[in-house]
Structure 1
């Protein structure tokens, strides 16, 4: 069964690419339809320049940037690789159809759910959570900026222990800035080594903007020299966590930032 949060992340990636690689005055069309085999297809169609047939199979490869020298727009980088990994993790498929000079259609397919609720499964996954200690039921959004899929999945599993926390992910610094402006997350987890712009530069831009400067940013990286930690904190980082993760420390910090300090790990 498809997870709503992951599907939203996938669509954000596909729509973002459709807008970036479109022509001036072009259109982006989002459509949904039932297809054969009890599956449901979501398509994102643009009117951009299209993609050559020989390049299609490379689209979902990490770090690939097609026609990087022919456009001033940043390449899709890891966005499509992340989308592919998320789709396949939910038992779905992802693909693309393109005609040079006419545009591209990226699509995802998922099995159609039977509409039944399994025993012990909540009827509404979005129901606000409140425990016996009176923890706030407000839904909070965490944006994790990381280009390693294993680390992304680890944080996803850890934050699953915190009902009411929604996770967004970005594998590029520029996508982080776009998602931050669009969703205004309650917390940003920021890796330093990103494929387009470094984490330190992302932090600087976040702190320069009145719109994002108050959002807590926790740097998560293996570069834990005292000098670097001191510099990043001086630049506005809320805290610094080293890899590999200390699970209890990570969850305690999340609870502290969200004001849920009394919760157990």
Structure 2
């Protein structure tokens, strides 16, 4: 997937070649989503999925989930509108999993909508102190006789015969997650009249909740990064990942890339060259990334160099452990080239502004 992203920004590709590369990337993303959802479902059904329940502000939740579906909505010319009453301030739930549920419902509302349709998200007080969040679309709707099949794994109600991508697991996971957070989920739909998917969770109060920021649904142009000058050290034992980052930076000759295939060599290069930013894998044989980070922070010569994790250990507990260990940022694999370049640009820019 990473190499497909590198090819996708190659201006020398013909339109046919670019279309093929995009197909490879989109197919890879679809397979990754399928694997992640199957693993999620397995964790939930085995009781091994831990939920961290807290007060979650709807303003923040709406803003985050809205930004994630912006490209999909723009590509299908679907307008997404968030509406929230002052009384619907917050809910009790797991912030990460709640965002996952809402993104799933929003994505479905966009994908199964009509061209130039709309999606409206509302949050209103329900009964028994619950808050109901509803996602209403202007799509074709669902026949009454098929509604009871919606939350069945791998059942896409015939959509598998269309060009609309999906796995048939997302709604099942959403149901399990909402119920695990002490809520309930349902749908109201009529064929030809659109659908409204909703879920309810216990309400909460936040002291300083702000209304959700307006969402811009225009598709952003392909970014052309202009990275500041500097030196980046990448410590990684996988040659394919080293090559991927090398190719991602090949159009930025102002950035010097140093490569180390193990932690010991990475420490030596850091001490000799004092790079501006260090990218560090965690799961490496011998000296792992956390040990390398600890030694970098213990050495007065390297302790102030920003170190960014770039790891396949992407579970929430892994991210929290990494941040607690001292990583400035925690990037996960598969490597997202745009995210990587944007992050490197920010940290190289900080060095430039400081000087």
Q: TM-score range by the shorter chain?
A: 0.3 to 0.5
Q: Say which structure, 1 or 2, has more relative contact order (CA 8 Å, 6+ apart).
A: 2
Question: TM-score with structure 2 length normalisation?
Answer: 0.37
TM-score, normalised relative to structure 1: 0.48
Structure ID, larger Rg = 2
More helix by share: 2
